[in-house]
Amino acid sequence: MWKIGPISHSNFIKKLKKIWFKWPYSGWKHLFMSKWDLDLTIPNTHSNKDIGIGLLSRILKQANIDNDEWSKL
């Protein structure tokens, strides 16, 4: 079971940088972060709202980040 909770946009970026994702770069509508051959779409900030659990879990699955690795960051 995922032990994750909502996270702010800036903290989300900081955690991804800790596991070797490169700085966000601009795409057409969203930011992207890359790590080797994986380009990860980063959600936009909306009125300083946190990234919810559902969206966060889908992003982490796409990035192949497991629960243990994410909780240690």
Q: Where along the chain do its domains lie?
A: 9-72
The list of the chain residues with pLDDT below 50 reads none
**CATH fold for the domain made of 9-72:** Metal Transport, Frataxin; Chain A (3.30.920)
11-26: pLDDT as tens digits: 888 888 888 888 877 8
Of all helices (H) and strands (E), which one includes residue 41? Answer: strand 38-42
User: Which pLDDT value is given to residue 40?
Assistant: 85
Of all helices (H) and strands (E), which one includes residue 40? Answer: strand 38-42
Chain position carrying tokens 């919810």: 52
